[in-house]
Structure 1
Amino acid sequence: MPPRQETHARLAESVRPATSIVVPYEPDAPPAQLARLVGDEVAERWRAVDRSAHAPHLVAVPVADGEGWAAAALVTARPDTAYLKIVDAVGDVPAAAGAVVAHAGRRQLAQVKWEGWTARPEDAEAAGFAALSPPLTPSQHSAGPASGYVRWLRDGTTTAPPYYGQTTHFTCGAVTALVAQAHAGALAFEALDRQAELTLWRDATNFLACEPVGLGVAVRRAWPSSPVTVHLDTDRPVLLDHYPENDREWRALLQRASRTDAERTGVPVDPSCLSLTAIRDAIGRREHVLLLLSLAGMQGFDVPHWVLCHGVVPGAVVIDDPWANATTGDTWVDAHLLPVPDASLDTMSAIAPEGFRGAVAIGTPRGPDEAPSS
């Protein structure tokens, strides 16, 4: 089993002093100062995808006695989040990394990530970054660099679950549950694979999505010793509005069956709206919260999607997202240990059209002598 990874949030201190400038990155018209810093491989990677949705910009360090640049970094981030990501740092790499950390600090962000395309471990460590454990996703389904690094800029401590990216477009609910249980110690890391992903999805699905009650019941069936509570502030069937009437009818029937299964197996369904305060409190109790949200803010399309809430820092909840949008340069480094401001997460998790909130809270597994909590 890979070691449990722990990352310590720290303030942006000991940053290498450097005067920096920040300019938008236009792949078709890069600044002339980049020419001597960026090699062909890096230049091709920067141009290979359309990063415009992630606000690409350059953080550059000018030379002390001229008009050129001594260092630069291509920086991006998902919208509505509290981090920046270095795609590559070129030239004087320590100066570039320090400039990005200082830039993120001025923006009062929680974190800086660094993709490992060209980053050397010793340079990342010297800049205060910790290595991320590589994804457990099967290689044929993963995208992004083989390594990545993180530096926290806010006080606090969070433990990192393993990262596993969903291998289909519809298994996000199953993956978040599996990752939560691996993080809690109820599932061996080596058991987190595609077989487990598809097996749990098959038990939880409402075809093709996993709705909250069905997912909660499937988690209870798979791990009877784990306390499970479903939070769903509507009693009508959910995630069905985009289907034709005849397809909504039989899926609604399956959701009613999930409600019956929940009653029979002792899975409570809380009809109140789960607040961000309650999510933070649950994480403080070492619970994991599988949260349904819309990808409209972070990815630009209004599709319901499950993420795992597992940590908190001041002003933001730390999530793991099992999906990354490779067409925008989004990789597992973005999706893993992702801080989302409370207000953004509150908005994302109000699911249209009626604004309901759905979640599954999984408590720490009970010992053999502990009585059930429900």
Structure 2
Amino acid sequence: MTTPHPVPSAVPYAVVPYAPGAGPSAWPDELRRIARPEVLERWGAVDRTPHAPRLVAAPGGGGWAAAALVTARPGTAYAKIVDAVGDVPAAARAVVAYAEEQRLVQVVWEGWTVSGEDAAAAGFAPLRPPLPGGTDEPAGPRTGYVRWTAGEGVAEPAYYRQSTHFSCGAVTALLAQVRAGVVRPESLDREAELTLWRDATNFPACEPVGLGVAVRRRWPSSSVEVFLDTEEPVLLDHLDGDEREWRAVLQRASRADADRLGVPVHGLRLSLAELREAVEAPGRCRHVLLLVSLATMQGFDVPHWVLCHGTVPGAVVVEDPWFNTGAGETWVDAHLLPVADASLDAMSLLGGEVRVRGAVLIDGG
């Protein structure tokens, strides 16, 4: 059961664009009065411009009583509190009011400075720490918090960050099986990630049929279906000549393997309504691995696999196994990520003049 968006609260707040590139002199005096220098230094250490950084401030005492640095990926339905300074509870109330006014379904909070007690008092629940990954790149704060502003939220899966630029398909399949209880969380590591990628890859990407076949081979008891509204090879637009042809041969072999293993390959486009119905099915543990372009969320048109595992009003909740530290992202941005329905519908159509959608449905029973 879901609940409608709440009526926006009467909590006062102000929104101010944040431009750290202009230097400390450009920051509002009210912010410099309530924020420690080391916090402002960390805020400005990366270019957060792609995520529209803004300050949400709570008035008080003739100026600002509190402020929060807020960002979010484009095309999504959440707001992220990077930090709150000053009267932290007042800052949290202001951001929640702002999120409700913008009809966002979720607010997350990076645990750089906030305590678990303060987050809980503001109505935020702790997120599960991410599973250990196979990359040495910093993953962000050790803790994070979430508050849903619409619906009842969704059950939280484990989060794991892919260790390469090309193993997203394997990681989403493994995360689905962890959530279904087929794979133990502690066994999801770099070896498991790369082993499944090796079985599924079209070098280096994982195309939908090959990924579905690899999942069936690895877990024969799991029901697997592939939805791909073309019979032509996919994810090869950037290649030509022999580099394209030998990968097309492998894709044809994957289709033959699917037929032999009994993996249905539907030559149909999975609609957003059908996707929502699949992951909402009561009493079932169904997941959709969905191919999307990162053009909207990250600014570059690269195909990428995400795991769709829940829904809230107006958005599908996904796990994205990759995040962009260069834009100030952490695992808190990529975990329990609500993507607006219209945005997900658009970003999951890939290709040139002929747009196609690729998806793998896994039913864990």
- TM bucket by the smaller chain? over 0.9
Shift of 1:137: 3.2
Q: For residues 162 and 238 of structure 2, what CA distance do their matches in structure 1 show?
A: 23
* 1:281 alignment partner in structure 2: 277
1:25 is aligned with what amino acid?
Y
5 Å-filtered alignment, 1:185-200, equals: 185-200=181-196
Identify the residue that residue 89 of structure 2 maps to in structure 1: 94
Give unpaired runs (5+ residues) of structure 1.
1-7, 366-374
- Which of residues 197, 202, 212 in structure 2 aligns to 1:201? 197
The letter for the 2-side match of 1:54 is H
- The residue correspondences of 1:298-317 to structure 2 (distance < 5 A) are 298-317=297-316
Matched-pair contact (CA < 8 Å) for 2:178–2:184: yes
Q: Which residue of 2 aligns with 1:103?
A: 98
1:121 corresponds to 2:108: no
| AA partner of residue 351 (structure 1) | L
- 1:368 counterpart residue number: none
Letter paired with 2:326: T
SS in 1 for 2:109: strand
Counterparts of 1:259 and 1:158, CA distance in 2: 34
**Partner residue of 2:175?**
179
The equivalent of 2:154 in structure 1 is: 158
* Alignment pair present for 1:43 and 2:40: yes
Superposed, which structure 2 residues align to 1:265-344 within 5 Å?
265-285=261-281, 286-344=285-343
3-state secondary structure, aligned to 1:317? strand
Maintained 8 Å contact 2:13/2:59? yes
Question: Which stretch has the larger CA shift, 293-302 or 280-289?
Answer: 280-289
> Per the alignment, in what secondary structure is the counterpart of residue 279 of structure 2?
helix
Go from structure 1 to structure 2 and tell me whether the alpha carbon gap of 1:322 and 1:142 turns closer, same or farther (over 3 Å shift): farther
User: Would you say the 8 A contact 1:10–1:156 is kept in 2?
Assistant: no
CA distance in 2, matches of 1:352, 1:206: 17
In structure 2, the CA distance between the partners of 1:142 and 1:165, relative to structure 1 (3 Å rule), is farther
Q: Work out the number of aligned pairs and report it.
A: 355
Q: CA distance change for structure 1 residues 10 and 53 in 2, over 3 Å: closer, same or farther?
A: same
Q: Distance in 2 between matches of 1:11 and 1:96?
A: 21
* Code of the aligned partner of 2:76: T
Of 50, 54, 57, 2:54 maps to 57
Counterpart residue type for residue 333 of structure 1: V
C-alpha contact (below 8 Å) 2:8/2:97 kept by paired residues: no
Residues in 2 aligned to 1:347 and 1:110: alpha-carbon distance in whole angstroms: 19
Measure how far apart 1:284 and its partner are: 1.7
Could you tell me which amino acid in structure 2 is paired with residue 118 of structure 1?
T
- How far the C-alpha of 1:331 sits from its partner, in A, is 1.1
Q: What is the deviation of 1:157?
A: 3.9
Q: Does 1:25 align with 2:15?
A: no
1:249 alignment partner in structure 2? 245
Q: In the alignment, what sits opposite 1:3?
A: none
Deviation string 1:247-285 (CA, Å, 9 cap, x unpaired) is: 000000000000000001110001111000100111022
Give the counterpart letter for 1:362 in structure 2. Answer: I
User: 2 CA distance for matches of 1:318 and 1:162?
Assistant: 13
Give, in angstroms, the shift of residue 36 of structure 1. Answer: 1.7
Cα pair 1:293 1:349 within 8 Å, conserved: yes
Identity %: 64
Distance apart, 1:241 and its partner CA: 1.0
Which residue does the alignment assign to 1:372? none
The letter for the 2-side match of 1:49 is V
The whole-number CA distance in structure 2 between the counterparts of 1:40 and 1:256 is 58
Q: Which amino acid is the alignment partner of residue 345 of structure 2?
A: D
Deviations 1:37-58 (A, max 9, x none): 1112211111011111101000
| Alignment partner of 2:215 out of 212, 219, 225 | 219
Q: Aligned partner of 2:230: which letter?
A: T
Q: CA deviation at 1:13?
A: 8.6
Counterparts of 1:276 and 1:120 in 2: how far apart (Å)?
38
Tell me which of 143, 146, 150 is aligned to 2:142. Answer: 146
Query: Can you list the C-alpha shifts for 1:30-88, whole angstroms capped at 9, x where unaligned?
Result: 11111121112211111011111101000011224x2x211000000000000000000
TM-score (norm 1): 0.92
The answer to whether the 8 A contact 2:229-2:268 is kept is yes
CA distance in 1, matches of 2:176, 2:137: 20
Secondary structure at 2:136 match in 1:
helix
Q: Is the 8 A contact 1:205 1:214 kept in 2?
A: yes
